[in-house]
Structure 1
């Protein structure tokens, strides 16, 4: 069938901000009056993208057809953010941000998605569940552990390109397949929680089987019969983790295909500093943060602690984020502390990765200052909130 075609009205979006992001200009779309088979839809297409390699997001009344499902299925807010942002990041390899627009998923509906996330049930003729069926050979606890719910969520993102000067059309979709690393369950309402660890190998075996079925179902959805599909598998962190999980594999399904040819391994991870894992795996950065914390404590002994989060790709640190919760008793005190921390950043950390420092107060609930240094730069940016 023909690709879904959407027409958009020219609306100039003025972006007002107190900060100074870098903007990239693009052309606006105009309404297509020639379409007869569908009524034209209107949307705001921002005239600027916040960064050169970011997608411009269509702003219209067509919110995600599965809006809100993700918060019911994934309990760790960090995982929710990384699943959404990371899927966009990996989509750039298939859908170039310079000529593609982003739109929330419009094809997999809320009800359909909930059906897919259930357990399969051989007693129901129309069972659509993609998680394993639960057995009755042992106790409830034993059966839950033998047949954990591996699949948490399927995130859909749509990518569109210009059809002509007057309209855009769907160019492809991305699907993020969120898989559990730990299965948390109860055997009775109000009873204790049980936890079952899921190995990487076991998770991948289940994910590949789930993806094969998802592709077949997606190809039966009107409008998705012959569009390219990027699929990325995401391994969630444990529920109370202070850092998110990570994408582990991805594949591209051509528009005329309905199966996976091969998987590409993704080498990414988020690392918590300080931690025993960070100390043994990334000793240099761990030592930098220990020294940084020691210097902070000599200046301001009543700070809480330094908490760091590193994002690694292919074993290389790409971004280091540090949060410093401190109680301040005046603006001068905040300014002096921020200046001191900025000097420590420039002298104590290498500049081959992005670095962001958030200075907070009120048990970390209020951000007081921001320090940011882009990879490759000798100087950074400092902002103190008023």
Structure 2
């Protein structure tokens, strides 16, 4: 028994010696923010497309508002990740570290998202005159009537970017702001009544968004910690509540350190398409044909199946990523493996090497397989879920 105990103890020491020391892989730094203390910067970054995140993670001040104000989870994901991509034009991933927005308080964002109120409306809302700072236009319609103006601004997202000095102190180095704009306005004329919808003209939405961006920057500059830092601000156009593809950033601008003036607006050049769809057929016919040929070959394997759906991501006119979902029911695991092998060949055959392609195969039991062929790679990654 004693020999067994010694052997077990030796094995524990061996595992301790061989285990990676994650503490040494992370860097402990001092925070120079309002609440001083120690923070951790992960040593390793999974990709140049992502920022290293300051730990411990602090949820953004407006985190609880997102679900109520953003139409779909597709919009939610793109609203956040798209803002990160825009920020990389000003804040490089090798120099700056990411933190969810902490500077604009949640209560302030709630007030900014309101409409402007008349004095009687302000009283009904139970707000003070100093809290009448909504960025959306006032509604002067009588009770039960259609609003005189839509709600343009649905949500405000803040991302903070921190820098580290030679002494290991981190401090705020820049801020990016996303303004989520409604392309369709949903409203009720009476409480608990039917929900109506009204399409907002694109030019009108963009014009109002830019006016709001100027006001947001002005207000940010009045805040102590934001008076001098560079700012990047983007206008995000939401899709409808029934959309299966996300919206996009239609424009973005920057504000130099210490300035209150926005630089020239840059036009957003990213867009998502549903494959197949009329819009995709009109704008990117050749890519849709390649997808339809792939879909046809899939249907040869399952003649009565037509559930192949693609989500295509474009930068300018160039297809960058194509994510395909295939929901299907298998009669056994071996059938699923065979189908996955067949699909892998189709991916390599139908789509050019310069785009990234992923195929997710699902059933009523959950995910069955995943195929990923990254851009310019000869071999795909294939995983069969057990």
Secondary structure of the 1:329 match is coil
For residue 248 of structure 1, what is the aligned residue in structure 2? Answer: 250
For residue 68 of structure 2, what is the aligned residue in structure 1? Answer: 72
- Shift, 1:193, TM fit: 1.2
2:91 to 88, 95, 98: 95
- Shift, 1:302, TM fit: 5.3
Moved over 6 A (4+): none
2:138 to 119, 133, 136: 133
Pairwise mapping of residues 258-277 of structure 1 onto structure 2 (< 5 A)?
A: 258-277=260-279
- Deviation per CA, 1:77-103, whole angstroms, max 9, x where unpaired? 110100001101111111000111000
Q: How many residues align?
A: 358
> What are the ranges of 5 or more consecutive residues in structure 1 without an aligned counterpart?
1-11, 16-24
For residue 15 of structure 2, what is the aligned residue in structure 1? Answer: none
Contact 1:288–1:349 under 8 Å retained in 2: yes
For residue 327 of structure 2, what is the aligned residue in structure 1? Answer: 325
Larger helix proportion, structure 1 or 2?
2
Distance 1:153 1:38, change over 3 A: closer
Distance 1:65 1:82, change over 3 A: same
Q: TM-score, normalised by structure 2?
A: 0.88
Pairwise mapping of residues 197-212 of structure 1 onto structure 2 (< 5 A)?
A: 197-212=199-214
For residue 106 of structure 1, what is the aligned residue in structure 2? Answer: 102
- Deviation per CA, 1:44-103, whole angstroms, max 9, x where unpaired? 322211113311011225321222111111121110100001101111111000111000
More moved, 302-311 vs 195-204? 302-311
For 2:46 and 2:249, the matched residues in 1 are separated by: 24
For 1:303 and 1:338, the matched residues in 2 are separated by: 15
For residue 378 of structure 1, what is the aligned residue in structure 2? Answer: 378
For 2:44 and 2:249, the matched residues in 1 are separated by: 29
User: What is the aligned-residue RMSD (CA, Å)?
Assistant: 2.2
1:291 to 266, 269, 293: 293
Pairwise mapping of residues 1-386 of structure 1 onto structure 2 (< 5 A)?
A: 14=22, 28-31=27-30, 40-60=36-56, 62-123=58-119, 124=122, 125-126=129-130, 127-136=132-141, 140-142=144-146, 144=147, 146-301=148-303, 303=305, 305-362=307-364, 366-386=366-386
- Deviation per CA, 1:322-347, whole angstroms, max 9, x where unpaired? 00111122221111100000000111
For 2:368 and 2:306, the matched residues in 1 are separated by: 15
Contact 2:27–2:40 under 8 Å retained in 1: no
Contact 1:207–1:233 under 8 Å retained in 2: yes
Q: Which has the larger radius of gyration?
A: 2
> What are the ranges of 5 or more consecutive residues in structure 2 without an aligned counterpart?
1-19, 123-128
Distance 1:378 1:141, change over 3 A: farther
Distance 1:39 1:295, change over 3 A: closer
- Shift, 1:262, TM fit: 1.4
